[in-house]
A and B are shown apart, each in its own frame.
Chain A
Amino acid sequence: MNTVVCMKQVPDTETLIKVAGAGIVTDGIKWVMSSFDEFAVEEALQQKEKMKAGAVTIVSLGPDRAIEAIRTGLAMGADNAVHINDAGYYEKADPYATAAVLAAAIKGLQYDCVFLGKQAIDDDSGQVPAMVAEQLGIPVVTQVLKLEVAADKSKATVTREVEGGQAVVEVALPAVFSAQKGLNEPRYASLPGIMKAKKKPVDVKTAADLGITAGPATVVKEMSLPPARQAGKIIAGDDAAAKAAALAKALHDEVKII
C-alpha cells in the first residue's frame, strides 16, 4: 500500500506567540511537526506495516527549516519525501494555495491513501484535507479515529468523530483522510531511524516546478494578541465549605449565572 502524508512544521505548543504586522515574530521559536500530522505519519506507517508492502511519502510545504520536521517523519519510518521549499509561496500561502501545491505534488506520486492532520496547530484552519481531495478528485473523510483498509485496497472502513459521537463510514480508495487525536499513538524516532533518515531521498521542488502560479484566496491583513486577562479575586473562607458558599454567592450575585 502506498501512502502520502502531508505534513506541516509549526511552532511548538509551548510557544508564546508575539505578533508583528500580519505575521508572528519567528525569533526563538522551536519548530516541530504539527501534532495532528504525527498521527497521520503513524497511521501511514501502520497501514504499510499491515500490508507488508508499499511506501510512505511525506509531502511538505515550507522554507528551509521545514526539512527538520520532514527528517523527523523519515526517522519515524517514512520512505521518502517531497519538500516544496518555496519561502515566497509559503509566506503568502493560505489553505487554498497550500492545498493547490500539495495536490500538484501528490499527482506525481503513487498512492492509495493520503493522510493529513485534521488541522495544523498554527493557523487552525482545517481546510487543507478537503481542498486537497477536491484537487485530486477523490473523496475525503475527516476526523478519523480508526481505519481499516480492505486487503484488496479497494475500500476502507473508517470510524470518524462527529458531534456527540462517532460514525462508521465506508469509502472507496483512493481517498484522503484527516487524522484526529485517538487514531493511534505516534512512535518516537529511534536512533537507527534517525541515522537512516539522513540518507533517505528528499525531492526538493518550488511551486513553479509543480506548475502552480495562482496566489492565495484569502489574505491576513493584521495580527493581534488577545486582551491580557488579569488575576481576579481569591475567594476567602475558613474552610472549603465556606469558600464554596462564597463562590456560589458570587456566581449568583455577580456573574448572575445561577
Chain B
Amino acid sequence: MPGTLIYAEVQKGEIKKGSLEITSKAKGFGGEVSVCIIGSGVEALAPELAKYGADKIYVVDAPDYENYVTEAYVQAFAQVAEQVKPSVVLASATAQGKDLTPAIAARLNTGAISDCVDLTKNGDKLVAKRPMYAGKAYAMVEAAADPQVISVRPNSFAAAETAGAGAVEKVAVSLDASKIKVVVKSLELAQSDEPDQTEAEIIVSGGRGMKGPENFKMLEDLAKLFGPTATTGASRAAVDAGWRGHAYQVGQTGKTVSPNLYIACGISGAIQHMAGMGTSKVIVAINKDAEAPIFTKADYGVVDDLFNVVPALINEIKKIKG
C-alpha cells in the first residue's frame, strides 16, 4: 500500500494524543508513514512521533505558524503533500482537525471523510466507518478520488508505541501571503486543563435535573476525582437554559462523545442526547425519575435524588482512593 501522510496537531507544546493514535494506526497499513508537523518551535517534538510509528517527519517550523490560521496551514500541508504524494491523508477530528481537513481536501481537489471511528484496509483503499445522525446510524464510506483524506475521531484507536524510522526533514514552505485573509487578533483559552469532551475518557454530565448553573460545581468536583482525562458535559436542556456553555453540550446539535465512562446526572435521555453518547463504554444514570428513558440504556442506574447521590458518591470515591 502506498504511503500515508498524517497531520500532527500540536497544543500547548505537545502533540495531541489523537495524532499519535492515527500515526500508530497508519503503521499497520503497511506503507510508509509520513507525518507533517506545523507550528513555531515544534521541531523538538519529532522524536515523539517516531516512537509512535512515523518513518518520515516533515517539519514546517516558522514564526508564521505560531497561531493556527486555516489558509497558512493548508498551504504548508499542501506543499508537503505535493512532495510526499500520499495515497492516504489522516488527521485527528479535533476542533482544529475538523477545520483543516476539508480545506486540505478542497486544496488537493479531492473529497474527505469526516470523523471516522474505524478504518479497515480493502486493497489500496481504506473503508472508513463513521457515525451519521449524531450516532443513530453508521456509514461505511470509501473514497472515489485520490488522495483519500480522512479525519478520525479521538479515542478511536490506541496510541501504541511502535518504532518508525523517524527521519526528520525540515521543509521551507513558500507562503502566498496574499491569500491569507484571516488574522488572529486574540485567543481566549480557559485556564483549566480539562480535556475536550470529544477526547475525554470520563464525562460527568448534567441535565435539567441540575436545577441551576451553580450546581454544576459538584459535577466538576466529581470529574476531578477521576483525574486529568475527565471532564464535564451537559444536556441540551441545561445548555438552552443557559446553565452551561454550548461547548459542553453532548448530543445531536452538540458533541458526539465516546468515553469509557459517562455519568448522566438528572438527564432524562432524550433521543438526541442518547445519539451523542450512546457509544460510551459504560453509562451510569442518576435520576430520581425511575421512568426516565436513560435507564433503558444505562449499565448502572441509581434511582434517587442526584443532590443526595452525587455528594455521597464523591465521598465514597475519596474513601476508595484513600
Measured between beta carbons, the chain A residues less than 8 angstroms from B319 are 248
Contact indicator B271/A164 (Cβ below 8 Å):
no
In the complex, A117 Cα to B183 Cα: how many Å? 22
* Stretch from A59-67, A106-114, A120-128 forming part of the interface with B: A120-128
Measured between beta carbons, the chain A residues less than 8 angstroms from B300 are 232-233, 235, 247, 250-251
Measured between beta carbons, the chain A residues less than 8 angstroms from B216 are none
Contact indicator A161/B140 (Cβ below 8 Å):
no
Measured between beta carbons, the chain B residues less than 8 angstroms from A27 are none
Q: How far is the CB of B286 from chain A (nearest CB, A)?
A: 8
Contact indicator B182/A141 (Cβ below 8 Å):
yes
Measured between beta carbons, the chain B residues less than 8 angstroms from A46 are none
Residue-by-residue, is B119-161 near A (CB-CB < 8 Å gives 1, otherwise 0)?
Answer: 0000000010001111111111111110000000000000000
Contact indicator A16/B127 (Cβ below 8 Å):
no
Q: How far is the CB of B138 from chain A (nearest CB, A)?
A: 5
Contact indicator A130/B313 (Cβ below 8 Å):
no
Q: Given the known inter-chain contacts A124-B115, A221-B141, please indicate yes or no for A167 contacting B186, CB distance below 8 A.
A: yes
Q: How far is the CB of B230 from chain A (nearest CB, A)?
A: 10
Residue-by-residue, is A164-184 near B (CB-CB < 8 Å gives 1, otherwise 0)?
Answer: 111111111001000011100
Measured between beta carbons, the chain B residues less than 8 angstroms from A14 are 271-272
Q: Return the chain A residue nearest B115 by Cβ.
A: A124
A191 within 8 A of B: no
Q: Is the interface of B mostly helix, strand, loop or mixed?
A: mixed
Total cross-chain contacts (CB, 8 A):
271
Q: Which residues between 5 and 60 of chain A lie within 8 Å of chain B, taking CB atoms?
A: 11, 13-17, 19, 22, 24, 35-36
Residue-by-residue, is B279-302 near A (CB-CB < 8 Å gives 1, otherwise 0)?
Answer: 100111000000000011111111
Contact indicator A244/B138 (Cβ below 8 Å):
no
Q: Return the chain A residue nearest B281 by Cβ.
A: A255
Q: Given the known inter-chain contacts A11-B133, A171-B181, A215-B144, please indicate yes or no for A229 contacting B297, CB distance below 8 A.
A: yes
In the complex, A250 Cα to B187 Cα: how many Å? 42
Q: Given the known inter-chain contacts A233-B300, A245-B316, please indicate yes or no for A124 contacting B132, CB distance below 8 A.
A: yes
Contact indicator A166/B188 (Cβ below 8 Å):
yes
In the complex, A165 Cα to B225 Cα: how many Å? 23
Contact indicator A96/B111 (Cβ below 8 Å):
yes
Q: Given the known inter-chain contacts A182-B246, A244-B302, please indicate yes or no for A164 contacting B196, CB distance below 8 A.
A: yes
Measured between beta carbons, the chain B residues less than 8 angstroms from A138 are 181
A220 within 8 A of B: yes
A192 within 8 A of B: no
Other-chain residue from A13, A133, A162, A226 in contact with B187 (beta carbon distance below 8 A)? A162
Residue-by-residue, is B220-235 near A (CB-CB < 8 Å gives 1, otherwise 0)?
Answer: 0000011000000000
Q: Which residues between 164 and 223 of chain B lie within 8 Å of chain A, taking CB atoms?
A: 181-190, 196, 202
Contacts A22-B139, A121-B133, A257-B202 aside, 14 further interface pairs with beta carbons under 8 A come to: A13-B271, A16-B136, A16-B271, A95-B102, A99-B106, A124-B133, A124-B256, A127-B114, A217-B143, A234-B302, A240-B312, A248-B319, A249-B320, A258-B226
Name the 3 nearest CB pairs between A and B, nearest first: A217-B111, A240-B308, A244-B312
- Which A residues form the contact surface with B (CB < 8 A)? 11, 13-17, 19, 22, 24, 35-36, 94-96, 99, 121-131, 133-135, 138-143, 157, 161-172, 175, 180-182, 215-226, 229, 231-235, 239-241, 243-245, 247-252, 255, 257-258
- Which B residues form the contact surface with A (CB < 8 A)? 11, 68-71, 94-96, 98-99, 101-103, 105-107, 110-115, 127, 131-145, 181-190, 196, 202, 225-226, 239, 245-247, 249, 252-254, 256, 260-261, 271-272, 278-279, 282-284, 295-305, 308-310, 312-313, 315-317, 319-321
Sample (13) of A-B pairs whose CB atoms are under 8 Å apart:
A13-B252, A96-B145, A122-B132, A131-B105, A133-B106, A141-B182, A143-B99, A216-B111, A221-B127, A229-B278, A233-B301, A244-B309, A248-B320
